[in-house]
Structure 1
Amino acid sequence: MSDASQPTKWEYFVAPVLSHVAQQILNNFGADGWELVQLAPGPNPDTLVGYFKRPIVAGA
């Protein structure tokens, strides 16, 4: 059976995103392979909560 027939397995990460440096934070996570799924309001007006995912690499 080839790997192409296997469903993608994901890992998830939840992190605070400060609005005044959001672009830098999101770029850093993206450089590490994390894809932003959603931004949600955080505990205060200057903070968002980012939900990220990336595929699990077999053997890593």
Structure 2
Amino acid sequence: MQKWEYATVPLLVHVTKAILDQWGQDGWELVQVVPSPTNPDNLVAYMKRPIA
């Protein structure tokens, strides 16, 4: 059975692509982007990658 690890990543609007590109280079897959629970003006990315 595949096992996964997860991460939550704060996204800065002016560098969102760079942040996601870097995490993607490290093997992370974007699952969802949602407003931050503490400040809806900020975004949070939920990421996952398989555990080897």
Q: CA RMSD in A?
A: 0.9
- Cα distance in 1 for residues equivalent to 2:18 and 2:40: 20
- Aligned structure 1 segments of 4 or more residues deviating by more than 3 angstroms: none
Determine which structure has greater relative contact order: mean sequence separation of CA pairs < 8 Å that are 6+ residues apart, divided by chain length.
2
Greater C-alpha Rg:
1
| Residue aligned with 2:22, SS | helix
In structure 1, C-alpha distance between the alignment counterparts of 2:5 and 2:18, rounded to whole Å: 22
Using structure 2 for the length normalisation, give the TM-score.
Answer: 0.88
Structure 1 residue 44: deviation in Å? 4.4
3-state SS of 2:27 partner: coil
Paired residue total: 50
Please list every run of 5 or more consecutive structure 1 residues that lacks an aligned counterpart in the other structure.
Answer: 1-6
Residues 22-60 of structure 1 deviation map (CA, whole Å, 9 limit, x = unaligned): 000000000000000000012242x21000000001xxx
Partner of 2:50 in structure 1?
55
